[in-house]
A and B are shown apart, each in its own frame.
Chain A
Amino acid sequence: MSDTTHEEHHDGPHASGMWRWLTTTNHKDIGTLYLVFSLIMFLVGGTMALIIRTELFQPGLQLVDPHFFNQMTTMHALVMIFGALMPAFVGLANWQIPLMVGAPDMALPRMNNWSFWILPPAFLLLLGTLFMPGGAPAGGWTLYPPLILQTGDAFPFVVFSLHMLGASSILGAINIIVTITNMRAPGMGFMKMPLFVWTWLITAYLLIGAMPVLAGAITMLLTDRYFDTSFFLAAGGGDPVMFQHIFWFFGHPEVYILILPAFGIISQVIPTFSRKPLFGYVSMVIATSAIAFLSYVVWAHHMFTVGMPAAGMLFFMITTMFIAVPTGVKIFNWLATMWRGSISFETPMLFAVAFVILFTIGGFSGLMLALVPADIEYHDTYFVVAHFHYVLVPGAIFGVIAGVYYWLPKWTGHMYNETLGKWHFWLSTIFVNILFFPQHFLGLASMPRRIPDYSVQFTEFNMISTVGAFGFGLSQLLFVWMLVKCVKGGEKASTEVWDDPEGLEWTVPSPAPYHTFETAPKV
């Protein structure tokens, strides 16, 4: 939507119209493509969430059939994770990493184009499954067999689409690693890189480690279904639980893939608006690495009810609990950055502060979920739903939004409308809590997740949650409006945009010219 208006303002590209966007190898163009794609997917996935919440407004089935409900929960997750969040972070990386390390572009520009253009056909396939006989996948985004093997004609399309998304992510990750490793400006040692660059470097390694594991798991599903193998089928000597181990070996690093770049953004925003350097840079880097390492050894905490030896459960409980330590270090460092600063509350800072508070709440419920005996009661209830939505919505998504407000003036050359930004912030923050906080209570009161209908004692909190969902969803239209307005025009942004911010991206004019740093800056 906003890309058509966007293109008129550039004069750098050599092609025009659709051809420009199809053939571009410019990191800024590709960043824009990723971000626009991500925004569209955010609205698509959000619509699915609203269908879910509407059905759950009161007990009894009023709107959708249970099978369609299950398709919605599955597709909502796949669209939000692979369509909204991951492309948003890759888009931010594309725009910002070259600007922040003083490189003229990404290291592998043609591959960059390819890694974006895999996405739209992949999502065409994935969303197209909604119209296939048997409908879209309805076994949950975790794709557990044997249930997922009951998917109708959509099954091979889902697998193929996930393969494409995985390939796109791996290509993007390789590009980011090569860019960061080889194209930093002279004088920018690893320990001088901005935190956003650091967290993305670590995330890129997580992607390269995790995505092929998902590819393996879904390929085995495919052969189980069509080529008579029995990797996960008990009748043929296979084990359905093995899939869960493989899936979560991908899945847990994946959740850190979704949050580490947000940590990076917050670490850029808080120092700027506290007018004080980031506290504990070295410990931030160590903590991020420690979280990434631990993310590979905690996977079975998603599976405590599956039947594991007590010793295994203890191991995964303890490793999981220890993630709280580096995560705590990050939170404390952000607090210490604000301590004795000179704080102002522009929209990016508002979202960053809300991130620190609400992500911490998600972290607390995460710690509670690590405790095996309690987890056995929390498992697969709305308590879990509340937990991961707290870390993903006011966590990861608020991180993305903070980043967009922070860098938008650099991209468009215009200041966004601060009043609209503040409205967007306050409405989002209030409604996101109305949406997700009551879900903790629903979980504790024993409402399972992924059910289309529920017993009457859960009615009240579900109603409140649905009201919050609509409030939150509609508030995002303000964000879209703000973006369109800012792309079209507005107050001219200065080179520095903010009050003496740190970083190379604030040394190029606003809007950042089509080609930047053709001669490397000195750091």
Chain B
Amino acid sequence: MYRSKAYGRWLFIGIAAAALAIATPAAADWALDFPASATELGNKVRGLHHLALIICVVIGIIVFGVLGYSLVKFRKSQGAQAAKFSHSTKAEIVWTVIPVLILVGLAIPTARVLIEMEDTQAADLRIKVTGYQWKWRYEYLDHGISFFSNIDDASNAASILGAGLELHEHYLRDVDKPMVVPVGKKVKLQLTSNDVIHAWWVPEFYVKRDAVPGTINETWFKAEKTGTYRGQCAELCGRGHGFMPIVVEVLEQDEYDAWVVGLTAPAEPEALEEPEAAMSQTAPAAAGGASSR
């Protein structure tokens, strides 16, 4: 018996040490929390998350504290004698009413954020987002711009079973053509899908909405800072679900205007009046990419 105990302990220490040894040298990102928000609304959502977390931690400390105290103090081996009580109306009312009050206190600020989140009116820019197995298509309804956004070639090559290639910094979170939007403008997304349900998600915008065939869903974001923001499809959509990244490039207004002009200038083959025409021209090109999965 003692022998097996000793073996078990060494086994456990070995596993723990191996876990640390494997994990530590690779240490790059030990993020423990939601990412910093790139939108004002995202900050509010992040605040709600923190509020809820703090409430849970405080309740946890109290509940587990009482439990721990009981387990130490009322042990039979310490000679504890069992009391006989099995009911206390007063205590039961207290621990029913207090949680109700806490929940109401939590529900009110949450409802406020929700209502703000659902207000898609007065948008500066509208983009139709269509999910495909396994790529995204972005149509700028105000400019007649339309293009597909596929996983980048480097990620695509490295993600083949047993490829063993070097994984770059933005592995599986990079695309050939990102969505481009101006900073500080309310961008309304109108989401739908061509085949199965997908979900468009950029974590730093705190926006996630399903793209459902036959339905147009709406959501919005207003990026406060220029930069590149990365996300990916968040609804299981088949074999290539893990391989349909989303990248949003947030530019200054003048840079954005230049980007629009670059795509809509008459000589440009990708400048298309008709979104439908865009699909037939762009689809074969895209078929070589992620859709080969």
State whether A336 touches B88 (Cβ < 8 A): yes
Stretch from A163-171, A325-333, A514-522 contacting the other chain: A325-333
Contact with A along B80-108 (1 / 0, CB 8 A): 11111111100110011001100100110
Given contacts A444-B33, A457-B28, A459-B26, list 5 more A-B pairs with CB under 8 A.
A60-B164, A274-B82, A280-B88, A318-B107, A373-B114
CB-nearest residue of chain B to A328: B99
Query: How far in angstroms is the closest Cβ of chain B from A192?
Result: 13
Tell me which residues from 16 to 39 in chain B have a Cβ below 8 Å from any Cβ of chain A.
18-19, 22-23, 26-35
State whether B213 touches A146 (Cβ < 8 A): yes
Tell me which residues from 258 to 292 in chain B have a Cβ below 8 Å from any Cβ of chain A.
none
Determine whether A456 belongs to the interface, using a CB cutoff of 8 Å to chain B: yes
User: In the complex, which of the residues B35, B81, B172 contacts A342, with contact meaning CB atoms closer than 8 Å?
Assistant: B81
Contacts of A64 on B, CB cut-off 8 Å? 161
Contacts of B13 on A, CB cut-off 8 Å? none
Determine whether A67 belongs to the interface, using a CB cutoff of 8 Å to chain B: yes
Tell me which residues from 292 to 342 in chain A have a Cβ below 8 Å from any Cβ of chain B.
305-307, 310, 313-314, 317-318, 321-322, 324-325, 328-329, 331-332, 335-336, 338-342
* A446–B153 alpha-carbon span in the complex (Å): 23
Contact with A along B41-71 (1 / 0, CB 8 A): 0001100110011001001100110110011
Stretch from B175-183, B238-246, B248-256 contacting the other chain: B238-246
State whether A381 touches B234 (Cβ < 8 A): yes
State whether B45 touches A241 (Cβ < 8 A): no
Contacts of B76 on A, CB cut-off 8 Å? 275, 342-344
Number of interface residues of B (CB under 8 A): 107
User: In the complex, which of the residues A281, A339, A374, A458 contacts B66, with contact meaning CB atoms closer than 8 Å?
Assistant: A339
Task: With A364-B59, A455-B171 as known contacts, state yes or no: A445 contacts B29, CB within 8 Å.
Answer: yes
Tell me which residues from 241 to 284 in chain A have a Cβ below 8 Å from any Cβ of chain B.
241, 274-283
State whether A367 touches B56 (Cβ < 8 A): yes
State whether A364 touches B60 (Cβ < 8 A): yes
CB-nearest residue of chain A to B69: A339
Query: How far in angstroms is the closest Cβ of chain A from B18?
Result: 7
Contacts of B243 on A, CB cut-off 8 Å? 66, 453
* A239–B231 alpha-carbon span in the complex (Å): 27
Query: How far in angstroms is the closest Cβ of chain A from B137?
Result: 17
Contacts of B12 on A, CB cut-off 8 Å? 427, 430
Stretch from B121-129, B139-147, B202-210 contacting the other chain: B202-210
Determine whether A152 belongs to the interface, using a CB cutoff of 8 Å to chain B: no
Task: With A367-B52, A377-B206 as known contacts, state yes or no: A343 contacts B70, CB within 8 Å.
Answer: yes
State whether B212 touches A307 (Cβ < 8 A): yes
State whether B234 touches A356 (Cβ < 8 A): no
State whether B29 touches A314 (Cβ < 8 A): no
Determine whether B187 belongs to the interface, using a CB cutoff of 8 Å to chain A: no
Main secondary structure of the interface of A (DSSP, over half): helix
Q: What are 24 A-B contacts with C-beta separation under 8 Å?
A: A59-B172, A61-B161, A70-B241, A146-B195, A234-B213, A280-B87, A305-B209, A307-B215, A325-B99, A339-B70, A356-B67, A360-B64, A371-B52, A374-B45, A376-B45, A423-B8, A434-B19, A441-B32, A449-B236, A452-B242, A457-B29, A460-B23, A460-B27, A464-B19
* A325–B106 alpha-carbon span in the complex (Å): 14
Contacts of B210 on A, CB cut-off 8 Å? 305-307
CB-nearest residue of chain B to A65: B161
Determine whether A503 belongs to the interface, using a CB cutoff of 8 Å to chain B: no
User: In the complex, which of the residues B34, B86, B107, B240 contacts A279, with contact meaning CB atoms closer than 8 Å?
Assistant: B86
* A324–B52 alpha-carbon span in the complex (Å): 13
Closest 7 CB pairs of A and B: A234-B214, A451-B242, A446-B203, A307-B217, A364-B56, A457-B29, A445-B31
Determine whether A463 belongs to the interface, using a CB cutoff of 8 Å to chain B: yes
State whether B75 touches A368 (Cβ < 8 A): no
State whether B70 touches A60 (Cβ < 8 A): no
Contacts of B195 on A, CB cut-off 8 Å? 146
Determine whether B293 belongs to the interface, using a CB cutoff of 8 Å to chain A: yes
Query: How far in angstroms is the closest Cβ of chain A from B63?
Result: 6
User: In the complex, which of the residues B15, B63, B114, B207 contacts A310, with contact meaning CB atoms closer than 8 Å?
Assistant: B114
Stretch from A21-29, A103-111, A137-145 contacting the other chain: A137-145
Query: How far in angstroms is the closest Cβ of chain A from B199?
Result: 6
Query: How far in angstroms is the closest Cβ of chain B from A159?
Result: 18
Tell me which residues from 449 to 476 in chain A have a Cβ below 8 Å from any Cβ of chain B.
449-461, 463-464, 467, 471
Contacts of A119 on B, CB cut-off 8 Å? none
Contact with A along B190-223 (1 / 0, CB 8 A): 0000011101010100111110111101100000
State whether A321 touches B107 (Cβ < 8 A): yes
Contacts of A458 on B, CB cut-off 8 Å? 29
State whether A460 touches B52 (Cβ < 8 A): no
CB-nearest residue of chain A to B22: A463
Query: How far in angstroms is the closest Cβ of chain A from B293?
Result: 7
Tell me which residues from 402 to 443 in chain A have a Cβ below 8 Å from any Cβ of chain B.
419, 423, 427, 430, 434, 441
Determine whether B224 belongs to the interface, using a CB cutoff of 8 Å to chain A: no
Determine whether A2 belongs to the interface, using a CB cutoff of 8 Å to chain B: no
* A307–B231 alpha-carbon span in the complex (Å): 19
Contacts of B107 on A, CB cut-off 8 Å? 317-318, 321
State whether A368 touches B56 (Cβ < 8 A): yes
Contacts of B242 on A, CB cut-off 8 Å? 66, 448, 451-454
Tell me which residues from 357 to 386 in chain A have a Cβ below 8 Å from any Cβ of chain B.
357, 360-361, 364-365, 367-368, 371-374, 376-377, 379-381
CB-nearest residue of chain A to B155: A455
Query: How far in angstroms is the closest Cβ of chain B from A135?
Result: 10
Task: With A325-B99, A341-B83, A441-B31 as known contacts, state yes or no: A450 contacts B241, CB within 8 Å.
Answer: yes
State whether B45 touches A377 (Cβ < 8 A): yes
Contacts of B154 on A, CB cut-off 8 Å? none
State whether B114 touches A340 (Cβ < 8 A): no
* A315–B27 alpha-carbon span in the complex (Å): 43
Contacts of B48 on A, CB cut-off 8 Å? 371, 373-374
Determine whether A156 belongs to the interface, using a CB cutoff of 8 Å to chain B: no
Determine whether B1 belongs to the interface, using a CB cutoff of 8 Å to chain A: yes
Query: How far in angstroms is the closest Cβ of chain A from B53?
Result: 7
